[in-house]
Amino acid sequence: MSAVVADDVGAPRTVLRGTLRDGLRVVIRSLVPADRDDVEHGFGELSERTKNLRFMTGKDHLSQRTLDSLVDQVDQHDHVAVAMWWERSSQADVLLGEGRFIRLKDDPSCADVAVTMADELHGQGGGTLLMRALVLRAREEGVRRFSAAMSPDNEPSHRLMRRVGPVLRDVVQDGEREMVVVVPEEPADASRTHLIPLDAS
């Protein structure tokens, strides 16, 4: 895993690089307004099940207002968003997934977190890499806890949250599962408990 590196002003920031289980090499960068069309297209390619599990909605496209919120209104401080790309030397990069956290207004040390991966890459470790990138960024921005409201059936996301750090809250109510976990203070090390191993799903 690479260290966080700042690119030129106005350019995407590289957070880390990694390799998925199938050998695909990927880069995770900060999400920027130029990624808007890729985010819109990527959502349209998700299966109905993935949309329901991730967004708890069956809508088939993102409204312009939602895209404004997901892309253009990201400030990379209170609303941090990163995107995973397959870098190709001779063709345009391919968006594979995205992750984000949004700081809670009434508790600035806690943020809602979410990760989305393309259906064909489920189980390849991409969600783990995205979460690791978000943990790195959370440390920079002073976020100490991640919270998430998920479908009770979304077991992969439940496992991913548990791998981040100690679980402070885990309840199911009103058709949602809410989890709150501690963001680890030290760099991720697979030999230690509660830190995300690179090969996790």
Report if residue 9 sits inside a domain.
Answer: no
Whole-angstrom Cα distance, residue 53 to residue 105? 25
Strands 167-173 and 176-182: antiparallel
Domain presence at residue 189: no
CA atoms within 13 A on the CB side of 179: 24
Residue 198: pLDDT over 70: no
Q: What is the pLDDT of residues 135-191, one digit of tens each?
A: 999 999 999 999 999 888 888 899 999 999 999 999 999 889 999 999 998 754 433
Global confidence as pTM:
0.84
Rounded to whole angstroms, how far apart are CA atoms 90 and 88?
6
Residues 185, 169: Cα–Cα separation, whole Å:
19
181 strand-pairing partners: 146, 167
The residue type at 110: C
Could you tell me if residue 192 is inside a domain? Answer: no
pLDDT higher than threshold 50 for residue 51: yes
Asked if residue 147 is part of any domain, the answer here is yes
> For the domain that residue 167 is a member of, what is the CATH number?
3.40.630.30
Higher pLDDT, 40 or 90: 40
Asked whether residue 1 carries a pLDDT value surpassing 60, the answer given is no
Task: For 132-165, give one letter per residue: b (16+ CB within 10 A) or e.
Answer: bbbbbbbbeeebbbbbbebbeebeebbebbebbb
- Is there a domain that residue 194 lies in? no
**63 assigned to some structural domain:** yes
Structure-block tokens of residue 200 = 């996790």
Per-residue pLDDT tens digits for 61-88 = 888 998 999 999 999 999 999 999 998 7
Q: Is the pLDDT of residue 41 over 60?
A: yes
Determine the pLDDT at residue 14: 92
Question: Measuring CA to CA, how many Å separate 15 from each of 11, 45, 174?
Answer: 12, 25, 36
Q: Which of 127, 121, 141 is nearest to 98 (CA)?
A: 127
Per the domain annotation, does 3 fall within a domain? no
Helix (H), strand (E) at residue 54: helix 48-55
Number of domains in the chain: 1
Residue 1 lies in a domain: no
What is the span of the domain harbouring residue 26?
Answer: 14-182
Paired tokens of 19: 């390799």
| Nearest alpha-carbon partner for 114 in 131, 90, 128 | 131
